[in-house]
Amino acid sequence: MTRVGERFEFATATRIVFGRGALEQAGSLAKSLGKRALIVGGRSAARNEALLDRLKEQKIESFAFSIVGEPTTDAVRQGVEAARSADCDFVIGFGGGSAIDAAKAIGALLTNPGDLFDYLEVVGRGQPLPHPAAPIMAVPTTAGTGAEVTRNAVLAAPEARVKASLRGPSLLPRVALIDPSLTDRLPPELTATTGLDALTQLIEPYVCNRSNPLTDGFCREGLQMVARSLQRAHAGGANEMARDDMACASLLGGLALANAGLGAVHGFAAPIGGAFPVPHGAVCAALLAPVMECNVSALRERAPKSEPIARYQAIAALLTGQPGASIEDGLAWIRELCVALGIRGLRTFGLTTDAIPDLVEKAGRASSMKANPIALTQRELSDALGRAL
């Protein structure tokens, strides 16, 4: 529902192409972006072959650049050097969120002067990009981040032990090409953590303080897709219907977060991911239920008649398939899902209670925290993080 005097805007990739087999269109879609592409991918260059074939058909030259693990500031600088040395005029991100975020950052720096830290938030100067980024095509091979339709790139800055965003409207890809068949061979653990990232990115925009009618629709549809398909994708490998659902849910979550906001789960994600060797999806998976419990408790105590309370109940109904489900039913559903998917606590990645105060202090300054449905105290944040260990 709309609120009195509500205002919002919506921006996304110039063109979104979704469907099983859509990779066949990659060459013709890339042809309008340039003649020499830097392909930013993961560890395995062999995975690029189908994409390379499509580019060759259109006489597009390509040059590979690999991102191993989470994208770092140094890796992005190296990617920019590689793109300039090869005289690339556009960038393709082909992989998970790490590859796509790196591609977006490389595209931005390819056309803008100065150093990455001139533009990076939190640990840099946070200046706006003076020139549009080079054209970017995003082709996800996981189902979780929605990075193909977001306007920021999350990068690890090891020297500061934190993750920070490079942000700007021109980081939105010119083409987002989502072919669910590229996710068919995702291993179960990656299916689980990326899938719970997608779930988080549908829940947080729906309850956040910047939600709007457009993003609400994306969230409701995506929540139903995750509810019926995440466990099936995890258990069934190349279950095409489940994989299609999860790829679409990830896209819808990306559209929602880019145009509404997130919350405390993602507020924690940047400092945790910067300080410990834990993948982003694993952070979200471990924190989702504890943060929801914390938010609901705080809302009931300080804003019992607020709209987010009703929204948490709506989420419960969508996830359980029961119109009369309570918030507690929804929380139980998420906790049971995490057990079924084998989600590990953050302690397995090296986090201890000693790290909580510093992480809570850093999370409190994160941009995502500003959209949380209610301002949480340090004690509440500490409790949520403690339960995620």
pLDDT of residue 171: 97
- Do 298 and 246 share a domain, yes or no? yes
Q: Report d(CA 386, CA 239) in Å as an integer.
A: 36
- Do 195 and 175 share a domain, yes or no? no
Query: pLDDT tens digits, residue range 172-188?
Result: 999 999 999 999 999 99
pLDDT of residue 2: 58
Could you give the strand order of the β-sheet that contains 136-140, starting from the edge strand earlier in sequence? 15-18, 175-178, 136-140, 90-95, 36-41, 61-66
**Quick one: which of 250, 248, 302 has its CA closest to 22?**
248
pLDDT of residue 4: 58
- Do 125 and 204 share a domain, yes or no? no
Instruction: Compute, in degrees rounded to 10, the torsion defined by CA atoms 42, 23, 151, 266.
Output: -60
> Within a domain: residue 81?
yes
Q: What does pLDDT average to over the chain?
A: 95
- Do 35 and 55 share a domain, yes or no? yes
- Do 274 and 337 share a domain, yes or no? yes
Query: pLDDT tens digits, residue range 87-107?
Result: 999 999 999 999 999 999 999
Identify whether the C-beta of residue 229 lies closer than 8 Å to the C-beta of residue 180: no
> Within a domain: residue 162?
yes
pLDDT of residue 45: 67
**Quick one: which of 302, 368, 298, 363 has its CA closest to 327?**
298
- Do 42 and 154 share a domain, yes or no? yes
Number of structural domains (the chain) is: 2
- Do 329 and 255 share a domain, yes or no? yes
Among residues 167, 183, 199, which one ends one of the domains?
A: 183
- Do 82 and 197 share a domain, yes or no? no
Among residues 157, 183, 209, which one ends one of the domains?
A: 183
Sequential pLDDT tens for the chain (389 residues) = 556 567 888 999 999 999 999 999 999 999 999 999 999 998 776 778 999 999 999 999 999 999 988 899 999 999 999 999 999 999 999 999 999 999 999 999 999 999 999 999 988 999 999 999 999 999 999 999 999 999 999 999 888 788 889 999 999 999 999 999 999 999 999 999 999 999 999 999 999 999 999 999 999 999 999 999 999 999 977 799 999 999 999 999 999 999 999 999 999 998 999 899 998 999 999 999 999 999 999 999 999 999 999 999 999 999 999 999 999 999 999 999 999 999 999 999 999 999 999 999 999 988 899 999 999 999 999 999 999 99
- Do 160 and 247 share a domain, yes or no? no
> Within a domain: residue 89?
yes
Residue found under tokens 């939105």: 172
- Do 312 and 245 share a domain, yes or no? yes
> Within a domain: residue 8?
no
349 contacts: CB under 8 Å, gap ≥ 6? 276, 277, 278, 282
> Within a domain: residue 336?
yes
- Do 179 and 220 share a domain, yes or no? no
> Within a domain: residue 321?
yes
Q: What is the CATH number of the domain that holds 49?
A: 3.40.50.1970
> Within a domain: residue 4?
no
Token pair of 299 as six digits: 């809302």
> Within a domain: residue 368?
yes
Its domain, for residue 198, covers: 188-388
Type of residue found at 205:
P
Among residues 126, 154, 183, which one ends one of the domains?
A: 183
Q: What is the CATH number of the domain that holds 243?
A: 1.20.1090.10
- Do 74 and 207 share a domain, yes or no? no
